[in-house]
Chains A and B, each alone.
Chain A
Amino acid sequence: DAGVTQSPTHLIKTRGQQVTLRCSPKSGHDTVSWYQQALGQGPQFIFQYYEEEERQRGNFPDRFSGHQFPNYSSELNVNALLLGDSALYLCASSLPGQGSGELFFGEGSRLTVL
């Protein structure tokens, strides 16, 4: 049973460029959440997708956008990259509904913006 997979694992971009990160959820999971984790900080919630719609969004600018496909996989796009966007981007999958508090995380995509 494959867990959450993310690609690429590492990437380097320059300021102003755009990046796309990809995520395949754990088998049987239909909800995908994206988090940004700066060095030494906790994961910060970017947004969550369910049934191909953005269901909830954290406090991130519109430069951060996403998509969920019919097979539940998801993409995170960041436009006009800033130095401050350098971070580990984590994808997490879960089953819909509340009450378990359990997310399954991928290993993340480490983005460096120069």
Chain B
Amino acid sequence: GQSLEQPSEVTAVEGAIVQINCTYQTSGFYGLSWYQQHDGGAPTFLSYNALDGLEETGRFSSFLSRSDSYGYLLLQELQMKDSASYFCAVEGISGTALIFGKGTTLSVSS
């Protein structure tokens, strides 16, 4: 089976940098994805790591270390609109179904 662990809540102030960690247990996977979900909305794709290392997309970066079974999402220059839930998800080797973590609620204050 697969399981992913994330902190349940993170708080930060506008302009700061925050890192959301994700540790996983899985027998194998193609890659690690990150999604953002605002209250009551659809999850939206942020980033994907197929290989170890850092992927940068604007203010967001994501990192994967397969040897450490660990990844993180880095959000820079935080804005109020970044307040949302963030989910890591693994793409299993048996298909394209994504398995999600329980999510991290990020609260950004002024």
Contacts and interface: CB of A to CB of B under 8 A. Distances in A.
Interface of A: 4, 31, 33, 35, 40-45, 48, 55-56, 58, 90, 94, 96-108
Interface in B36-69: 41-45, 48, 50
A101 B41 contact: no
Contacts of B103: 40-42
A97 B97 contact: no
Contacts of A108: 42
- A interface, over-half SS: loop
B85 to A, nearest CB: 8
Contacts, number: 71
Given A41-B103, A101-B33, A101-B89, A107 B41 contact: yes
B96 A94 contact: yes
B45 A102 contact: yes
11 contacts: A40-B103, A41-B103, A45-B98, A56-B94, A56-B95, A97-B96, A100-B48, A101-B50, A101-B89, A103-B45, A105-B42
Given A42-B100, A45-B100, A56-B94, 6 more contacts: A42-B101, A45-B97, A45-B99, A101-B32, A102-B33, A104-B45
